[in-house]
Homo-oligomer: A and B are copies of this chain.
Amino acid sequence: MARKRFDDSQCSVARALNEVGDWWSLLIVLHAMYGTRRFVDFQQELGIAKNILCDRLARLVENGVLRKVDVGEHGSRFEYRLTEKGRDLFPVVIALRQWGDKWNPAPDQGPLDLRDRATGRPIQEVQVRDADGQSLSIRDVFVPDENLPAGKKNSA
């Protein structure tokens, strides 16, 4: 049964998930962020079936998250590189990593340690923040009434 696709959705989150919400897709993006570029490396690192990896890479390329570059070695050597659109998934992936670290940490993986290349200092935790940089939870925010999704009341 074909999965419902959210192409025509009025919801940006749904549309985003349309492009990166397939099983494996965000992990591929994550590994691309680590620097992985070649088909065989993605495959080995992720332990993904080749046909599925092909499919996901093709989708990510089609959606502009990755671009496929012909490196010209060994007759058919390609690299898959993040586009700007792909790199803009950085906060998504980091936020997800933090969430995982907090609520379901991997046994042998410490918490995320990411440093500012310029200063060597740790990055701030990715949070929703107010104008002054203070962290906000979902209870601290509201959506102005005119911008609510259809049928929603302000009870967030």
Name A residues whose Cβ lies closer than 8 Å to a Cβ of B: 3-4, 9-19, 21-23, 26-27, 30, 33-35, 45, 47-48, 64, 82, 85, 87-110, 112-119, 121-124, 126-131, 133, 136-144, 147, 149, 151-153, 155-156
B residues less than 8 Å from A90 (CB atoms): 128, 137-138
B residues less than 8 Å from A128 (CB atoms): 90-91, 94, 114, 123-124, 126
- Contacting residue for A15 out of B95, B100, B149, CB 8 A: B100
**Oligomer: number of copies:** 2
A27/B13 contact (C-beta < 8 A), A104-B19, A115-B144, A131-B119 known: yes
| CB of A143, distance to nearest CB on chain B (Å) | 6
B124 touches A141 (CB 8 A): no
B99 touches A89 (CB 8 A): yes
- Complex Cα distance, B131 from A14, in Å, reads 32
A156 touches B33 (CB 8 A): yes
B92 touches A99 (CB 8 A): yes
- Complex Cα distance, B118 from A156, in Å, reads 14
- Complex Cα distance, B117 from A141, in Å, reads 5
